[in-house]
Structure 1
């Protein structure tokens, strides 16, 4: 997961970069090759960049690309991560994220909270998986 997010962040940097086009193309190729070795593959890494373009530039074609890449990621999760549950679980994140961003609350920024929350959520998933 962190590898996928890291490659997605690198892709966002490429999108915003003012580096010469050949350097940016080379970076995209390197990201694509590296994405073959992370959890959500090419679709997951480039999904981050597509969502970034869609949200920062309000480009409808980026939204369409993000939807296609999300479906590809959900399909991969269904193949490698638990059949229909992987597919439904991936797609269920969309309405949850949509609703969460509309909650009328502000949270303080906690830089290190991720390092506590991420392992805790993996533990909860492991416990739930053992129970099923």
Structure 2
């Protein structure tokens, strides 16, 4: 019995690898794909892409804003009290805008959660300060 010599082959291209489907089947697949994608699908893809890119832009903008505030605080150009006052005013304005779109019960629950958060933060802050 004559054996052929061992040949290590990682990948061998055979002539029939690229001709798995006949031309008629490929034409049918392409026509089905073209009919299944309508203009409404493109609009849906477009607007979801715009929304997701808006979220990414918002996150990048917040990081840049944080860096700018940190640099100004480090150089003593801003005082923390001023930033706190500005954030409180923006929060109150945002609360009134948000209140127009929700009912009173949900607003009461949100204010209750805010009060618990502030009380917990004020109770824990002396402990954190001593660490």
* TM band (smaller chain): 0.3 to 0.5
Mark the structure with the bigger radius of gyration. Answer: 2
State TM-score, norm by structure 2: 0.34
Determine which structure has greater relative contact order: mean sequence separation of CA pairs < 8 Å that are 6+ residues apart, divided by chain length: 1
